[in-house]
């Protein structure tokens, strides 16, 4: 099989972890797979590099004039880990070559600090895989047509991995991290969180966008578009594992776990499943229904989860701010002028609410990521003459708590339950937004973690002795 794996920063945080990861890769290599492995910078390296930039130029490191150099700086983090991992593999006798983003042919648009991947020229990677060399690729970075180094945005190594998997026509993409899969909520916030053996691409996309940091949202977007099988598991243990699947009707029987490796494969339709099962069984002779089944996918367990679950998960985004333009006299062009100017300044606006008062003036409130507050404020100040608002109010200490579930689309009353639970807990709701499969509420940041635990419990997602405890233990070990 051709497999793309990705190991995140905490999985390669020190020499011991790098050797441990090399050992896992070597075992897969021995099984005969073709492997391309994407790695993130060691531990908190990227944060440390950002802190260094701040030590030199302060907050100005956020200015567009510094963006090119920020990419030059941050891309070094991944260059360290690929070299060390390739050395660790060679020391184990496994042929391995490290490649930077540009050496691996990752072409991006000409935007710094949040570039999107345009294409992957996988010639070199294919040649390496063909000769059974493990290609170790730097995550999170690429190169523009003009030869400039770019980065993809924080957490972007997941997206590198899926893009490579698509370009290589891999059988699947495996993301290894410091928790054993995708949980009903962040197991660091709620240790009673349960592992989800399967989650749909759409649910995962919402969860990722809404703050569940376990996958970069763009990686899920890509995987869905190209129907790339995506597996999330722990780099510390073979227990657990989550498969991202297309629909809830993907049956637990279609999910198989390769015990020896911690990986799993699945089939979307029944005709394909027999063949895949046969292949999986051939590669992992020890795997059978009773011993090889995914721990969370025993029939009672997964059947219940698949059939009854209205809410699959709770996500928290802790970096939300709200800006309100007070006392506008709304003209037909006001909203267009306002949001065009914000977009031009690169401000990502999330929830928008406008309210007309008795005196005929209008307030327009919108939420943004905390990082964007200064830029948004500057845009609003610049528009004062055009829009004629009386004041701008900024509330910075907010969070967004969201419930997500594909089952919501067909069940009424889910939002009502959420608001009742929040009201009973005395948590004020400042803004609301909904889609077919999620409800989000903007609340005071200080109450964010409490709201997550309360909603998780309120929607019956918790489990007394859940695997969440395992995740929490591993997360602690990873600190």
Q: Across 60-108, where does the E strand assignment appear? A: 96-99, 106-108
- 294 CB contacts (<8 Å, ≥6 apart)? 197, 241, 243, 252, 255, 256, 257, 264, 302
Residue 217 interacts with Mg ion (CB under 5 A)?
no
Contacted by 154, from ligand ADP, ligand ASP, Mg ion, none: CB < 5 to 8 Å by type = ligand ASP
Residue 157 interacts with ligand ASP (CB under 6 A)?
yes
Contact (CB, 8 A) for 387 and 338: yes
Residue 43 interacts with Mg ion (CB under 5 A)?
no
Contact (CB, 8 A) for 195 and 169: no
Q: Which stretch binds ligand ASP (CB under 6 A): 151-159, 310-318, 323-331, 441-449?
A: 151-159
Contacted by 323, from Mg ion, ligand ADP, ligand ASP, none: CB < 5 to 8 Å by type = none
Angle CA 19–20–23, to nearest 5: 85
Residue 154 interacts with ligand ASP (CB under 6 A)?
yes
**263-266 and 313-328 as β-strands: parallel, antiparallel, unpaired?**
unpaired
* Binding characters for ligand ASP, 71-110, by CB under 6 A (x = yes): ------x---------------------------------
Residue 8 interacts with ligand ASP (CB under 6 A)?
yes
* Binding characters for ligand ADP, 169-208, by CB under 6 A (x = yes): --------xxx--xx-xxxx------------------x-
* Residue count, binding to ligand ADP (CB under 6 A): 21
Q: Which of 196, 204, 171 is nearest to 295 (CA)?
A: 196
Judged by beta carbon, residue 187 or residue 462, the one nearer ligand ADP is 187
Of 21, 36, 39, 41, which lies in the binding site for ligand ASP, with binding defined by CB under 6 A?
Answer: 41
Residue 217 interacts with ligand ASP (CB under 6 A)?
no
* Binding characters for ligand ASP, 110-139, by CB under 6 A (x = yes): -----------------------------x
- 191 CB contacts (<8 Å, ≥6 apart)? 466, 468, 469, 471, 472
| Nearest distance in Å: CB 211, ligand ASP | 15
* Residue count, binding to ligand ASP (CB under 6 A): 12
Helical spans, DSSP H, in 210-269: 217-225
Q: Residue 93: left if φ>0, alpha if ψ -120 to 50, beta else—which one?
A: left
Contacted by 186, from Mg ion, ligand ADP, ligand ASP, none: CB < 5 to 8 Å by type = ligand ADP
Residue nearest to ligand ADP (CB): 8
Judged by beta carbon, residue 158 or residue 363, the one nearer ligand ADP is 158
Distance CA 92, CA 231 (A): 26
Distance CA 32, CA 260 (A): 13
- 181 CB contacts (<8 Å, ≥6 apart)? 195, 196, 197, 232, 233, 234, 240, 241, 242, 296, 471
H helix and E strand count, the chain: 16, 20
Token code pair at residue 328: 């506008």
For ligand ADP, the binding residues in 108-167 under the rule CB under 6 A are 155
Contacted by 182, from ligand ASP, Mg ion, ligand ADP, none: CB < 5 to 8 Å by type = ligand ADP
Q: Which of 215, 198, 178, 176 is nearest to 265 (CA)?
A: 198
Of 3, 4, 8, 61, which lies in the binding site for ligand ADP, with binding defined by CB under 6 A?
Answer: 8
Of 140, 183, 366, 459, which lies in the binding site for ligand ASP, with binding defined by CB under 6 A?
Answer: 140
Q: Which residues pair with 25 in a beta bridge?
A: none
Q: Which stretch binds ligand ASP (CB under 6 A): 14-22, 154-162, 287-295, 446-454?
A: 154-162
Residue 155 interacts with Mg ion (CB under 5 A)?
yes
Residue that the structure tokens 């292949």 belong to: 279
For ligand ADP, the binding residues in 32-71 under the rule CB under 6 A are 40
For ligand ADP, the binding residues in 416-455 under the rule CB under 6 A are none
Contact (CB, 8 A) for 187 and 472: yes
Residue 181 interacts with Mg ion (CB under 5 A)?
no
Judged by beta carbon, residue 125 or residue 207, the one nearer ligand ADP is 207
Contacted by 46, from ligand ASP, Mg ion, ligand ADP, none: CB < 5 to 8 Å by type = ligand ASP
The SS3 call for residue 239 is: coil
| Nearest distance in Å: CB 40, Mg ion | 7
CA atoms within 13 A on the CB side of 228: 30
Residue 252 interacts with ligand ASP (CB under 6 A)?
no
Continuous segment of H or E residues that includes residue 7? strand 2-7
Contacted by 185, from ligand ADP, ligand ASP, Mg ion, none: CB < 5 to 8 Å by type = ligand ADP
CA atoms within 13 A on the CB side of 84: 20
Distance CA 241, CA 422 (A): 31
The SS3 call for residue 87 is: helix
Q: Which residues bind ligand ASP (CB under 6 A)?
A: 8-9, 40-41, 46, 77, 139-140, 154-157
Q: Which residues bind ligand ADP (CB under 6 A)?
A: 8-11, 40, 155, 177-179, 182-183, 185-188, 207, 212-214, 313, 475
């Amino acid at each position: 099989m051709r497999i793309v794996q990705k190991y995140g920063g905490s999985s390669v945080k020190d020499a011991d972890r790098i050797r441990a990861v090399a050992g896992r890769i070597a075992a897969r290599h021995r099984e005969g797979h073709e492997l391309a492995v994407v790695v993130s910078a060691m531990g908190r390296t990227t944060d440390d590099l950002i802190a260094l930039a701040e030590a030199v130029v302060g907050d100005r490191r956020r200015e567009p004039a510094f963006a090119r150099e920020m990419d030059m700086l941050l891309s070094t983090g991944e260059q360290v880990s690929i070299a060390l991992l390739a050395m660790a593999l060679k020391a184990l006798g496994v042929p391995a070559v490290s490649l930077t983003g540009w050496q691996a042919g990752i072409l991006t648009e000409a935007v710094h600090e949040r570039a999107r991947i345009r294409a992957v020229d996988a010639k070199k990677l294919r040649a390496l895989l063909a000769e059974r060399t493990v290609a170790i690729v730097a995550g999170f970075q690429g190169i523009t047509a003009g030869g400039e180094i770019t980065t993809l945005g924080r957490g972007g190594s997941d997206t590198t991995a899926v893009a490579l998997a698509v370009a290589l026509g891999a059988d699947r993409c495996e993301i290894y991290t410091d928790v054993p899969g995708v949980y009903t909520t962040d197991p660091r916030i709620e240790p009673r969180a349960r592992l989800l053996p399967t989650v749909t691409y759409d649910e995962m996309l919402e969860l990722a966008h809404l703050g569940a940091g376990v996958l970069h949202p763009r990686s899920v977007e890509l995987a869905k578009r190209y129907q790339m099988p995506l597996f999330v598991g722990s780099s510390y243990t073979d227990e657990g594992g989550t498969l991202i699947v297309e629909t809830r009707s993907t049956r637990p029987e279609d999910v198989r776990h390769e015990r020896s490796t911690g990986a799993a494969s699945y089939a979307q339709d029944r005709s394909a499943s027999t063949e895949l099962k046969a292949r999986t069984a051939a590669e992992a002779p020890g795997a059978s229904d009773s011993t090889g089944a995914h721990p969370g996918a025993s029939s009672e367990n997964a059947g219940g989860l698949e059939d009854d679950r209205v809410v699959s998960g709770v996500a928290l985004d802790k970096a939300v701010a709200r800006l309100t333009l007070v006392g506008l006299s709304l003209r037909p062009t006001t909203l267009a002028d306002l949001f065009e100017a914000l977009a031009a300044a690169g401000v990502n606006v999330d929830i928008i609410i406008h309210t007309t008062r008795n005196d005929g003036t209008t307030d327009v409130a919108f939420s943004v990521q905390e990082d964007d507050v200064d830029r948004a404020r500057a845009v609003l100040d610049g528009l004062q003459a055009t829009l004629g608002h009386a004041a701008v109010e900024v509330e910075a200490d907010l969070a967004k708590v969201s419930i997500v579930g594909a089952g919501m689309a067909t069940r009424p009353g889910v939002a009502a339950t959420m608001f009742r639970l929040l009201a009973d807990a005395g948590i004020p709701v400042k803004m609301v937004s909904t889609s077919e499969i999620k409800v989000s509420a903007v609340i005071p940041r200080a109450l964010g973690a409490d709201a997550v635990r309360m909603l998780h419990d309120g929607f019956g997602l918790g489990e007394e002795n859940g695997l969440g405890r395992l995740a929490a233990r591993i997360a602690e070990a990873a600190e």
